[in-house]
């Protein structure tokens, strides 16, 4: 192992510094894992440290397994006795040996999410807690956060004080822990908290593991929480051979309990710590790195460092600001398709990063319309999310009720006491009588084996659907959707099922996006039909011929910036670079100055995912919860010096106060008439300039959303020319030329 030849100077220094506390500040793409693996191999091969005296802690099993394999490749089977694993897996091993000291059985069970939910339901019944006021999943999440901070039931009770809501959570927490303990169980969060408790209450056990693990290494140290910090501190206190590796500039998991001050204050806890900075980047071009450095240096709470590379400058970072989210998505999709059609890239070379999951909807539409294969990483595609599948099933049932699968999906959502056995009996009855499943619901009294209580619930469901169907004849699709949500208390159902208040807010945003999509469809279509709406959005089967081919890896990837951490791509698009979205209003308006700093770190992570080409995009206006929001360019764009940017316009021209237009269409029309946005390219009513389109019947044209098609006819529609186009993917559409902005091919 020739360290000086195989590693750079700073990496070699980190490897050779083996005794005492060591902080390795490893910038993005700086060879962090390589350095860790070489350091462990050096300890064993050159320093003579016994493999079983080394403990390496990671955050994921994937990272642990990769580390084990790479060490085994270097030093062979000697690596087998090293302990490399996640915090939780290491704690499980310790507790299985010593759990009896804490009163647990030696083979205690670990409660999974199903067990937790079952126990919590029982606790709620005993305490008479209203699950609508204190949703069970949110309560479990709060208890998890308390355990991350090493707050047991007694500590949490002191923390709650006289706050009524916190006192209720405290009472639930106490009863929940009693139930777990009486059943010989620990939940996932108990594993670290109880290991810390074991070490504090039984010094002889702590001494045993201090002697066992004389050299400790921690990966991704910036993501550690309070309980993990305390566990590491206890284990390393005797020999103090603690090496932590991380990057404070990539600390983006505060919402999961990560405490950035664990890494920022490392030298405060260990004044004699040796600090090594890994700043040479092996991933990105210098323009990308310089942009990342320019953004992150605006954070006050960080350790100074700057990424650099021996690679060339590369292309400048492109910034494009489009009028709205649909045009932003169309620009990205067209740009990707153009690169691939020229043979410059494959689809698998591209990643589109978003700040929030809800942004993926327009991007998915743009890619699907262009027959570009894609995947949403660590998340469902917009139309595959539970909330959207539930509500579109409701809409189609109100529309016709023909599809049995859709009716079966929603008949007990929210819960109405209609069990699977009764649903199956209804299905059998419908087939026997050659009628649809929905029609069978109207004859529920003719199915004798269904319990009376269930029959009443089925009748209530059927009558609700028929009532909405009748009243909805003169309503817009989005109004029908609103009526469905209200009639069946769907929002209450979502709240009761949500894991956190943030998840509930996200689901409400999905509903708002569905309403927006329904309104847009009705505006653009002469004879709107829900079945047609479902078809053009790929909900009646995805039969498009994808240009991406059958290779599952040859797909454009859409993911949030949080999910992109640790990944890299030749080409990256960061979408939604506007104030109010990134950084979000919650961070901008927060009393906590660290809120925007975490957003800036997330931007830094996004930028450093790109290897060769980075494109930043934003929208001047975007629909948010049913309202049109006008936003300036993100402050993060303005923090990148112009010399690193390829601009389609000066950033300064986009700096305007955010305005919210009324969601009511008539009021919105008046708003634009009285006070049109200075940067708007749209003109309403009589202000629209009527021009003969540059295409004729039979010409091939391109629509930013519907894709390519053939012009069937052009007619004078009064204020504008009405164009009828047969699109390849969505069929015939009529539209005004001024709004359609069809491009002649």
Could you tell me which residues come within 8 angstroms of residue 196 by beta carbon, excluding any fewer than 6 positions away? 150, 227, 230, 231, 234
Q: Which two structure tokens, joined as six digits, stand for 621?
A: 């206006």
What is the rounded CA–CA span in Å between residue 269 and residue 272? Answer: 9
Alpha helices in 614-735 (DSSP H): 635-638, 665-674
With 0-12 / 13-18 / 19 or more C-beta atoms within 10 angstroms meaning exposed / middle / buried, residue 323 is: middle
Please tell me the distance from the alpha carbon of residue 7 to that of residue 672, in angstroms, as a whole number.
61
Residue in the structure block whose two tokens are 């664990």: 262
Could you give the CA distance from residue 75 to residue 67 in angstroms, rounded to a whole number? 12
**Which structure tokens are listed for 281?**
């980047």
624: its two tokens: 């948010």
Reduced to 3 states, what is the DSSP secondary structure of residue 173? helix
DSSP string, 541-588: ------TT-S-TTSSEEEEEHHHHTT--EEEEEE---BTBBTTBHHHH
The CA distance from 393 to 11, in Å, is 56
ω into residue 506 within 30 of 0, thus cis? no
- Under a CB-based contact definition with an 8 Å cutoff, are residues 174 and 152 in contact? no
Backbone angles phi, psi at 281, to 5 degrees: -95, 135
Give the position of tokens 């709107």. Answer: 528
For residue 455, give both structure tokens: 């029959």
Contact in structure between 173 and 123 (CB atoms under 8 Å): no
3-state DSSP assignment of residue 674: helix
Q: Enumerate the active-site residues.
A: 32-33, 219-220, 250, 609
Give the pair of three-digit tokens for residue 336.
């990707």
731's tokens: 């069929």
DSSP 30-70: S-HHHHHHHHHHHHHHTT---GGGEEEEESSHHHHHHHHHH
């Amino acid at each position: 192992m020739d360290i000086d030849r195989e590693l750079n100077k700073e990496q070699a220094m980190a490897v050779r510094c083996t005794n005492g506390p060591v902080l390795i500040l490893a910038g993005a793409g700086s060879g962090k894992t390589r350095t860790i693996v070489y350091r462990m191999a050096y300890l064993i091969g050159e320093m003579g440290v016994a493999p079983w005296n080394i403990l390496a802690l990671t955050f994921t099993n994937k990272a642990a397994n990769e580390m084990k394999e790479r060490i085994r490749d270097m030093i062979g089977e000697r690596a087998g006795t090293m302990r490399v694993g996640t915090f939780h897996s290491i704690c499980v091993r310790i507790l299985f040996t010593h759990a009896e000291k804490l009163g647990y059985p030696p083979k205690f069970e670990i409660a999974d999410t199903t067990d937790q939910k079952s126990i919590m339901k029982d606790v709620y019944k005993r305490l008479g807690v209203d699950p609508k006021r204190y949703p069970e999943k949110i309560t479990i999440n709060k208890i998890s956060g308390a355990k991350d901070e090493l707050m047991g039931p007694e500590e949490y009770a002191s923390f709650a004080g006289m706050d009524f809501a916190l006192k209720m959570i405290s009472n639930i927490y106490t009863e929940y822990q009693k139930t777990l303990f009486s059943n010989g169980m620990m939940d996932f969060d108990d594993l670290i908290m109880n290991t810390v408790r074991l070490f504090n209450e039984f010094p002889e056990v702590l001494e045993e593991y201090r002697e066992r693990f004389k050299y400790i290494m921690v990966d991704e140290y910036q993501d550690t929480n309070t309980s993990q910090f305390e566990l590491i501190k206890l284990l390393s206190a005797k020999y103090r051979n603690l090496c932590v590796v991380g990057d404070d500039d990539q600390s983006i998991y505060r919402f999961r309990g990560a405490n950035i001050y664990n890494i920022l204050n490392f030298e405060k806890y260990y004044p004699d710590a040796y600090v090594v900075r890994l700043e040479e980047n092996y991933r990105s071009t210098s323009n990308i790195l310089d942009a990342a450095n320019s953004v992150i240096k605006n954070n006050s709470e960080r350790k100074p460092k700057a990424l650099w590379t021996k690679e060339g400058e590369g292309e400048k970072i492109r910034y494009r600001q489009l009028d709205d989210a649909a045009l932003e998505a169309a620009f990205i999709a067209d740009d990707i398709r153009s690169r691939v059609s020229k043979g410059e890239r494959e689809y698998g070379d591209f990643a589109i990063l978003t700040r929030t999951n809800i942004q993926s909807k327009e991007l998915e539409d743009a890619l699907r319309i262009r027959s570009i294969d894609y995947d949403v990483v660590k998340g469902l595609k917009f139309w595959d999310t539970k909330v959207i599948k539930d509500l579109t099933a409701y809409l189609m049932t109100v529309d016709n009720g023909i599809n049995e699968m859709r009716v079966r999906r929603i008949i007990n959502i929210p819960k109405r006491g209609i069990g699977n056995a009764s649903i199956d009996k209804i299905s059998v009855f419908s087939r026997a009588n050659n009628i649809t499943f929905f029609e069978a619901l109207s004859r529920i009294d003719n199915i004798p084996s269904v319990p009376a209580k269930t029959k009443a619930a089925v009748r209530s469901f059927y009558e609700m659907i028929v009532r909405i169907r009748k009243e909805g004849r003169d309503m817009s699709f989005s109004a029908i959707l609103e009526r469905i949500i209200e009639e069946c208390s769907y929002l209450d159902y979502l709240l009761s099922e949500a894991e956190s208040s943030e998840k509930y807010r996200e689901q409400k945003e999905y509903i708002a996006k569905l309403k927006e999509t329904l309104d847009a469809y009705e505006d653009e279509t002469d004879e709107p039909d829900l079945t047609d709406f479902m078809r053009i959005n790929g909900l009646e089967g995805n039969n498009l011929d994808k240009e991406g081919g059958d290779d599952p890896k040859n797909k454009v990837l859409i993911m949030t910036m949080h999910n992109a951490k640790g990944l890299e791509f030749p080409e990256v698009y960061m979408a939604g670079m506007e104030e109010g979205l990134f950084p979000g209003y919650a961070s901008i308006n927060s009393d906590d100055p660290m809120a925007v700093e975490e957003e800036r770190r997330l931007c830094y992570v996004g930028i450093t995912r790109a290897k060769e080409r980075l494109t930043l995009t934003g929208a001047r206006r975007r629909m948010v919860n049913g309202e049109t929001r006008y936003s300036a360019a993100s402050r993060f764009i303005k923090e990148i010096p112009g010399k690193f940017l390829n601009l389609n316009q000066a950033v300064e021209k986009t700096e305007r106060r955010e305005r919210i237009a009324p969601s009511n269409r008539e009021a919105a029309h008046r708003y634009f008439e009285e006070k049109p946005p200075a940067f708007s390219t749209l003109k309403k009513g009589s202000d629209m300039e009527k021009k003969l389109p540059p295409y004729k019947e039979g010409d091939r044209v391109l629509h930013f959303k519907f894709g390519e098609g053939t012009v069937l006819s052009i007619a004078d529609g009064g204020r504008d020319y009405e164009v009828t186009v047969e699109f390849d993917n969505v069929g015939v559409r009529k539209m005004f030329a001024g709004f359609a902005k069809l491009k002649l091919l």
